[in-house]
A and B are shown apart, each in its own frame.
Chain A
Amino acid sequence: MVTVNDTLNIERSAPAARSFSQPYWDGTKQKKLLVQFDKSVGKYQWLPRATSRFTGRKSVLEWREVKGEGEVYSFTLVYRARPPFQGKEPFFIAMVTLPEGVQIMGNTVGITKEDMKIGLKVKPYWHPLPDGCHMLMWQKA
């Protein structure tokens, strides 16, 4: 039987935000999931970009909070990784579709190999990072 590592034991540094992604990371300090929204077409987008993927206009973007409940679109069980993940395999990376029409990748917490399947319902698990931000992970809904 394969024991999947929930990766909570891995020492992570906080990713360096870019000028246009900083609001996302700020939101994670309060465990809020903020997603860019193009108000001219009424659509969300992920990942954070410098401009709207729909219209090519940056001025139409704003940040909106979403609940983050979604379902697994695809996943892989990683057996080979670089430090600091090396030696801590295997662990999941899941790609999750949210009802807002975006997909967000994350590691998983408490999801076994037997549990994992495309269509599995998940919700956020916020893992603290050294700078006060949180890393978005996925747990069973």
Chain B
Amino acid sequence: MAMRDTAIVAYSEVKTVQKSDRDVWEIGAEILEDLLNKTGMEKGEIDGLCLSSSTTGAGNCFWSQTTADQLALEVDFCQTVDIGGCSPTGALARAAVAIDAGLCETVLCLFTDTAVRESGQRQRHYQQEWTAPLGLLGPPTSFGFITSRYEHQFGLDYRMLGKLAVAQRNGAVLNDLACEKLRTPITIDDYINSRMIADPIRLLDSVMPCDGGSGLIVTSRKNAEKKGYKNAVFPIGYGEKTSFQFSENIVDVTDTGHMPAGAKAFKQAGLTANDIGSFHPYDDFIIAMMIQLEMLGFCKKGQGCDFIREHDFNFGGDLPLNTGGGQISVGQVGLAGGGTNLVEAVRQLFGEGGNRQVKNTKNALVTGIGGIPYNRNWNTSVVMVLTPNG
């Protein structure tokens, strides 16, 4: 696959906050300048712009254009990716494809959202007609269904979900960029005793809406070599699936699009789950990570709790997981939140994890989840394998 002929040569992230006192474009400008400093590039070398979804920008159907205008970027490729929580990793994949196809050479992938400060969203989907009238809050309710069903089919040890929550919180305590409110340690009992949102979904299963942003500079492998960057990370496998099994009315909600997307990504990378150095799964809810462990082949279906019991997910453990805290303990940066785990994976592979650096930097696995459909799990699943060695 040719996606591996592109390189991530820099990453940037601002502090996640409960409500930004700055405009979304000011956050974008800060990320741009940081990336120029880190790469030594001039602004004119950036000839592509690929944005994640943004709640703030959602009312503007010219979002990528307008952002290119605000940042004064003259580009040959300009796009907003609108697959929800998958859109940061999806944007990286599309940037790589655009570079490989010769549309451009160097892309700023920008994942910013100030959903709390300013929402521009006016949703148009099935929910107004079919679920809002039932008092369905959205994602927590849908994950309540998924969790009830999982428990019915396989049994569920909630303390194991709590173990993942604690590991992520340990990461956030070490992460200066995590939302301050979330940087206090928790115990498994804290998780179990946290109040119900949509029983059996608890408060500590869930993300807190926040503002912030992150970004990447992606360029051709050739250009990265020419410029002699010390650090580079390559996407060596990618899979994406939207509307998994949507031609059927009734599906097993514990099967997800990560199964086919993961198989594709691993095949391209020539790796399996056993080879993964650190895992950075999309975490809108704790159980989503456990189901991903099953779908991606870390363990068999229905055995997620046993797998969690047997492994250590802290940065020094045998399977480091969302070492910066994940979205649940960093705060969810609106529709750009998928950037949090993606950038953490790149940071770890650059060896810049600092007080939470993982030992195994051979590769990292990043995923995304996007969209909440009717009577199933989610709309889009993405899986990407990253490596520093190409």
Q: Chain A interface (Cβ within 8 Å of chain B)?
A: 7, 10, 12, 15-18, 21, 43-47, 53-54, 73-82, 85, 88, 90-91, 93, 95, 97, 101-103, 105-107, 118, 135
Contact = CB atoms under 8 A, between A and B. Distances in A.
B249 A80 contact: no
Nearest to B129: A15
B249 A102 contact: yes
B152 interface: yes
B135 A79 contact: no
A41 B135 CA distance: 34
B137 A74 contact: no
B199 A90 contact: yes
B137 A77 contact: no
Given A16-B128, A53-B246, A102-B250, A78 B133 contact: no
A74 B152 contact: yes
A133 to B, nearest CB: 11
Interface string B225-256: 00000000000000000000011111001000
A103 B197 contact: no
B198 interface: yes
> Number of contact residues on B: which range applies?
35 or more
Given A77-B196, A78-B141, A80-B198, A105 B130 contact: yes
B277 to A, nearest CB: 36
A79 B374 contact: no
A77 B145 contact: no
B188 to A, nearest CB: 21
A17 B133 CA distance: 12
Given A18-B129, A44-B249, 17 more contacts: A73-B149, A73-B250, A74-B152, A75-B144, A76-B198, A77-B196, A77-B199, A79-B197, A80-B140, A90-B199, A91-B135, A95-B145, A101-B249, A103-B250, A105-B131, A105-B136, A105-B374
Nearest to B131: A105
A81 B137 contact: yes
B250 to A, nearest CB: 6
B195 interface: yes
A7 B134 CA distance: 9
B121 interface: no
B141 A76 contact: yes
Given A47-B130, A47-B374, A105-B375, A10 B135 contact: yes
Nearest to A103: B375
Interface string B58-80: 00000000000000000000000
Contacts of A45: 249
A78 B250 contact: no
A80 B137 contact: yes
A12 B131 CA distance: 12
A16 B198 contact: no
B126 A47 contact: yes
B149 A118 contact: yes
A90 B199 CA distance: 9
Interface string B113-147: 00000000000001011111111110011001111
B134 A107 contact: yes
